[in-house]
């Protein structure tokens, strides 16, 4: 039995009324993000690797506009940069992109070839030896005016945007739990594959095509099982490194497990 006398309650109106003790509620549990149950990937053409052509072209156009000089050609005045290094670098960029996208050079050899060409070109430009080399061929220097850089880069940019964001997205590969479907945007048919026993391979051997120009792209090879075995090639998948783990999980699942 508690014999403690009750505490007196103050009735002074100047004092604030007693406040009840605050009850702390437990913090809410963090919401776990729901695992993705499907993924769409697109196969891109080799034109996706041509972005350095229009990017470097716009840089050269800006340098020509900023530091160029007016020259009279016929009845018009054209804007040229006095140095031939701009034309050399632009033609070198175009040449390397053509070579990388059409000649498959694997691993370390690819890096040594591309770095060797780039290093020699930069050294020749730094020591101003390009003009002496061109003098051996009758002074055949490379000069492009501002309009050539601007218009060619603009056309390349437009074609690149249409190819990457329109044409290449007219068909796609749809991964779901236990199923792979090759679908088309305009409903020209689709084909589905059962993923049971499916084997997947990721190919990313070309250092410059996949890592530098492709920004982490790669090729995906899929081997199906069943009565009719097929090998599916999905080329030039962008950011394949961040998608491969989810693809492996999806093809390993069955629809009943989800």
What is the 3-state secondary structure of 69-96? EEEEECCEEEEECCCCHHHHHHHHHHHH
Q: What is the pLDDT of residues 171-214, one digit of tens each?
A: 888 888 778 888 888 766 778 887 777 888 888 767 677 777 88
At residue 218 the predicted structure's pLDDT band, cuts being 50, 70 and 90, is: confident
Which pLDDT does position 32 carry in this prediction? 41
Q: How far is CA 79 from CA 91, 113, 154, in A?
A: 19, 35, 18
Which pLDDT does position 11 carry in this prediction? 53
Reading phi first (left if > 0) and then psi (alpha if -120 to 50, else beta), residue 236 is in: left
Break the chain down into helix, strand, coil percent, rounded to 5: 45, 20, 40
**Which domains are assigned to the chain?**
39-45+171-257 (2.30.29), 47-165 (no CATH)
Chain centroid offset of residue 198 CA: 27
- Burial of 191 (C-beta count, 10 Å sphere; 0-12/13-18/19+): exposed
Return the number of other C-beta atoms located less than 10 Å from residue 122's C-beta: 13
Q: Is pLDDT at 141 greater than 80 in this prediction? A: no
Q: How far is CA 157 from CA 51, 52, 117, in A?
A: 7, 10, 25
């Amino acid at each position: 039995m508690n014999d403690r006398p009750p505490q007196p309650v103050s009735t002074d109106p100047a004092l604030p009324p007693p406040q009840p003790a605050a009850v702390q509620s437990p913090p809410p549990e963090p919401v776990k993000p729901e695992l993705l149950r499907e993924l769409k990937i697109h196969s891109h053409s080799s034109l996706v690797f041509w972005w350095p052509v229009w990017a470097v072209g716009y840089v050269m156009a800006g340098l020509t506009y900023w530091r160029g000089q007016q020259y009279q050609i016929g009845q018009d005045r054209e804007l040229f940069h006095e140095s031939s290094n701009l034309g050399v670098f632009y033609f070198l960029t175009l040449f390397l992109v053509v070579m990388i996208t059409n000649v498959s050079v694997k691993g370390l050899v690819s890096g040594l070839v591309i770095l060797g060409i780039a290093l020699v070109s930069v050294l020749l430009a730094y020591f101003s030896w390009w003009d002496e080399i061109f003098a051996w061929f009758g002074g055949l220097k490379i000069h492009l005016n501002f309009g050539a850089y601007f218009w060619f880069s603009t056309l390349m940019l437009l074609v690149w945007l249409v190819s990457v964001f329109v044409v290449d997205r007219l068909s796609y590969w749809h991964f779901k739990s236990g199923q792979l479907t090759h679908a088309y945007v305009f409903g020209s048919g689709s084909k589905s594959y059962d993923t049971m026993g499916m084997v997947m391979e990721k190919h990313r051997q070309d250092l410059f095509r996949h890592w530098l120009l492709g920004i982490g792209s790669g090729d995906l090879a899929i081997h199906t099982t069943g009565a009719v075995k097929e090998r599916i090639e999905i080329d030039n998948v962008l950011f394949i490194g961040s998608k491969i783990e989810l693809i492996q999980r999806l093809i390993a699942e069955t629809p009943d497990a989800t």
